[in-house]
């Protein structure tokens, strides 16, 4: 029977359990331990999580980026066009030296550059479309902002008319406390229930004769925000309706341009039977056609 020197006695109770498996599990990773590849992957994932999110670009910045990309592609298209024309000219010069006629067929290098140009032109069209959509969206947002201010001005005009119809006691209560004499919020037909601060500020503006929105917004800069949701909804509906009407008018105008009016044919006046119309020559019968002319005698 073979004996191994220095081999641990597995039956020895004093032996440390970790020593028993020390040689057996050598080269195997312990439970919960990560391999170098897994550690590297974990670090990459943690780095990605720690990266701060890029702030969303404003419409102006987006438009600037699109214009920059478009200019870069246009420059490359110009360069490729010049390169193609130059290569063609050189090839035709060489053919002319050998007494050959210029060819219309493209060489492989020219075909490759033309393919690049087509790809760049397609990308350019996409960028132009994105640019148009962005400008259209910006224009619509501007129109909505202007419409919101217009609607708010209309509502304020209605509130001031309601103030005019109040007696002095009720108006003084709103002017001093922003509430009715009964302690309730002011109810407006155009703006609904008014916050006491808003009602009081509007009463002060009314007494001072300030009725235009820009001046009122100086005293109440948050007035637009208070009614923003309702104003945005109403303004968007108005703007959409106006844009649809303008689009319909443009389409109608284009149809008229594409379909020109046919010129009316001038009706000739009827000529009585047996008379020659003015401006026409009456043809005399040809004597040869009748067959009555005698052949000359020899």
Question: Is residue 102 in a domain?
Answer: yes
pLDDT attached to residue 26: 47
Residues 212 and 248 placed together within one structural domain of the fold? yes
How many Å from the N-terminal Cα to the C-terminal Cα in the chain? 161
Question: Is residue 156 in a domain?
Answer: yes
* CB contact at 8 A, 173 and 199: no
Residues 212 and 162 placed together within one structural domain of the fold? yes
Any idea what DSSP says for residue 187?
E
- Of 239, 255, 271, the residue at which a domain comes to its end is 255
Percent pLDDT > 70 in the chain is 71
Instruction: With both helix axes pointing from N to C terminus, report the angle between 108-164 and 59-97 in degrees, rounded to the nearest 10.
Output: 160
Instruction: Tell me which residue of 289, 268, 264, 292 sits closest to 279, measured CA to CA.
Output: 268
Residue 235: Cβ-neighbour burial (10 angstroms; 0-12, 13-18, 19+): buried
The more confident residue out of 33 and 109 is 109
Element (H, E) at 192: strand 192-194
Range of the domain at 227: 145-255
pTM: 0.52
The encoded tokens of residue 142 equal 């501007």
Residues 170 and 226 placed together within one structural domain of the fold? yes
- Of 107, 141, 175, the residue at which a domain comes to its end is 141
pLDDT attached to residue 215: 86
Question: Is residue 285 in a domain?
Answer: no
Reported confidence tier of residue 169, pLDDT bands at 50, 70, 90: very high
Percent pLDDT > 90 in the chain is 15
Residues 127 and 165 placed together within one structural domain of the fold? no
Residues 124 and 172 placed together within one structural domain of the fold? no
Residues 79 and 164 placed together within one structural domain of the fold? no
Question: Is residue 283 in a domain?
Answer: no
Residues 246 and 203 placed together within one structural domain of the fold? yes
Q: Is the pLDDT of residue 272 over 70?
A: no
Question: Is residue 43 in a domain?
Answer: no
pLDDT tens figures, 93-152: 888 888 888 877 788 888 888 899 899 999 989 988 888 888 888 888 899 989 989 998
The more confident residue out of 252 and 76 is 76
Q: What is the SS3 assignment for 193?
A: strand
Residues 82 and 155 placed together within one structural domain of the fold? no
Residues 153 and 239 placed together within one structural domain of the fold? yes
Rg (CA), the chain: 46
CA distance 243 to 120: 33
CA distance 228 to 48: 38
Q: Is the pLDDT of residue 20 over 60?
A: no
Question: Is residue 272 in a domain?
Answer: no
Domain tally for the chain? 2
How is the chain split among helix, strand and coil, in percent rounded to 5?
60, 5, 35
The encoded tokens of residue 252 equal 């109608």
Question: Is residue 13 in a domain?
Answer: no
Q: What is the mean pLDDT of residues 46-64?
A: 68
pLDDT tens figures, 223-240: 877 778 788 888 899 999
User: Partners of 186 in the beta sheet?
Assistant: 194
Element (H, E) at 246: helix 228-258
Could you give phi then psi for residue 270, rounded to 5 degrees? -70, 135
pLDDT attached to residue 273: 59
Question: Is residue 129 in a domain?
Answer: yes
- HEC readout, 155-168: HHHHHHHHHHCCCH
Residues 135 and 184 placed together within one structural domain of the fold? no
pLDDT tens figures, 211-220: 888 888 887 8
- Of 88, 119, 141, the residue at which a domain comes to its end is 141
Residues 157 and 84 placed together within one structural domain of the fold? no
């Amino acid at each position: 029977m073979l004996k191994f020197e220095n081999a641990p006695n597995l039956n020895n109770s004093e032996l440390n359990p970790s020593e028993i498996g020390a040689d057996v599990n050598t080269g195997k990773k312990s439970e919960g331990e990560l391999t170098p590849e897994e550690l590297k992957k974990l670090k990459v994932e943690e780095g990605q999580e720690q990266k701060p999110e890029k702030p969303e670009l404003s419409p102006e910045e987006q438009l600037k980026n699109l214009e920059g990309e478009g200019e870069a592609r246009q420059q490359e298209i110009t360069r490729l066009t010049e390169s193609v024309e130059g290569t063609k000219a050189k090839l035709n010069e060489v053919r002319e030296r050998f007494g050959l006629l210029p060819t219309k067929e493209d060489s492989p290098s020219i075909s490759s550059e033309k393919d690049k140009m087509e790809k760049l032109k397609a990308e350019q069209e996409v960028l132009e479309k994105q640019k148009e959509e962005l400008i259209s969206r910006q224009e619509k947002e501007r129109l909505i902002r202007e419409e919101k201010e217009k609607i708010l001005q209309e509502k304020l005009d209605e509130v001031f008319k309601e103030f005019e119809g109040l007696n002095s006691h009720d108006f003084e209560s709103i002017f001093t406390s922003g509430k009715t004499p009964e302690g309730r919020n002011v109810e407006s037909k155009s703006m609904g229930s008014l916050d006491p601060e808003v009602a009081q500020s509007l009463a002060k503006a009314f007494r001072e004769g300030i009725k235009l929105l820009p001046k009122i917004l100086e005293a109440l800069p948050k007035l637009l925000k208070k009614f923003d949701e309702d104003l945005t909804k109403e303004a968007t509906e108005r703007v959409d309706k106006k844009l649809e009407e303008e689009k319909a008018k443009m389409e109608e105008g284009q149809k008229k341009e594409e379909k020109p009016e046919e010129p009316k044919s001038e009706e000739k006046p009827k000529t009585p039977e047996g008379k020659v119309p003015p401006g026409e020559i009456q043809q005399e019968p040809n004597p040869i056609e009748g067959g009555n002319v005698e052949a000359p005698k020899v």
